[in-house]
Amino acid sequence: MKRVLVGLTYSACLLLWDVLATYTHLDALEPHAIAAQSYAQSRTNGRPPTRTLNLAKMDSECRSRPLDLVFIIDSSRSVRPIEFEKVKIFLADMVHTLDVGAEGTRVAVVNYASTVKIEFLLKDHFDKLSLKKAISRIEPLAAGTMTGLAIKSAMTEAFTEQSGARPKARQISKVAIIVTDGRPQDNVEEVSAAARASGIEIYAVGVDRADMNSLKQMASIPLEDHVFYVETYGVIEKVASKFRETLCGVDPCAMGHDCQHTCVNSNASFYCKCRAGFVLNADKKTCSLKQVKVVIVEDPCKCEARLAFQKLTQTALQQLTSKIADVSRRIENLESLAGRG
């Protein structure tokens, strides 16, 4: 009986392998692409099923922190019409997950090829349905890939208070998400640096033939959090899940943190705090035992008994501090083991 079960299991594994080999390329990704990817996708032979823009889609949504969000989308000749529809679905999916509103997240779209067209501004739509309808009406512009010009237009026109961006005093994050599949025909490094210096956080999403060096030049740091790559427009919608983690108002402490002792949630961010008797180190994550300083004041009369007592007290306190540190390390090890369990 045991041999029969082993044989059936082996046959099932072979069958599963054949199915996977039929539908999936097992080739490794290009080394330069792997270095730039924050969200890797498998290459597939089969075309994904066609999706249409569902304006009444009711997927699960999250509550994002308020943003001034501008999408900068490449609609040059290399982006085929069916692929551009995928980009629009990606935009609609992103809009659906955000807390859109006049006091929430405001959205604008900058469309570009050899020219730049601002499809709508941050002040134009304050509800998801009208935003999705506006996205569905966007048409590709065809020739050219003037990415630098598009970034400059977003910075000088789309992110202005006249266009609906909130005043700097309100401390609303300004975020640009660039989607492109090619190599820019103009300079992106300087204009991107200027945009970032003005307070705009830039995410770069590369598709297929996108130039990795250009994506890195455009994106904010750390690059591993701001540069994404997918091999086809057919899977670009999956990048939306990564943006949900970044843009949604999820409790960062619940999602994991690097604090050695305690994570304290502070709206859309967090900070680390140490237990009593410890101080936060310069890295703002780890803790060190608070040192007890003993100051020996020599008695003017040079009383040997008093000096001896002070020295003994100092030695005893140093030994006690060492023991407390040892006990603390053991407690942390036990907490770590308990967490793994």
Q: Is residue 125 one of the residues assigned to a domain?
A: yes
Provide the CA 67 distance to its chain's centre, in angstroms: 14
Give CA–CA dist 199/202, Å, rounded. 9
Residue 235 and residue 187 share a domain: yes
Residue 63 has a pLDDT of: 53
Residue 336 and residue 240 share a domain: no
- Residues 6 or more apart whose Cβ sits within 8 Å of residue 6: none
Answer whether residue 38 shows pLDDT above 70: no
Mean pLDDT for the chain overall: 75
Q: Do 276 and 263 contact (CB within 8 A), yes or no? A: no
Residue 320 has a pLDDT of: 79
Average pLDDT of span 5-22: 42
Residue 187 and residue 279 share a domain: no
Average pLDDT of span 113-126: 94
Residue 133 and residue 148 share a domain: yes
Q: Is 232 helix (H, G, I), strand (E, B) or coil?
A: coil
Is residue 296 very low, low, confident or very high in pLDDT (cuts 50, 70, 90)?
Answer: low
Residue 70 and residue 173 share a domain: yes
Helix (H), strand (E) counts: the chain: 10, 10
Number of structural domains in the chain: 3
Q: What is the pTM of this model?
A: 0.58
Average pLDDT of span 290-303: 60
Residue 60 has a pLDDT of: 44
When comparing pLDDT for 277 and 107, which is higher?
107
Containing structural domain, residue 310 = 292-341
Residue 279 and residue 194 share a domain: no
Residue 68 has a pLDDT of: 95
Average pLDDT of span 13-38: 36
* Nearest C-alpha neighbor of 260 from the set 335, 337, 340, 341: 335
* Nearest C-alpha neighbor of 219 from the set 180, 242, 189: 189
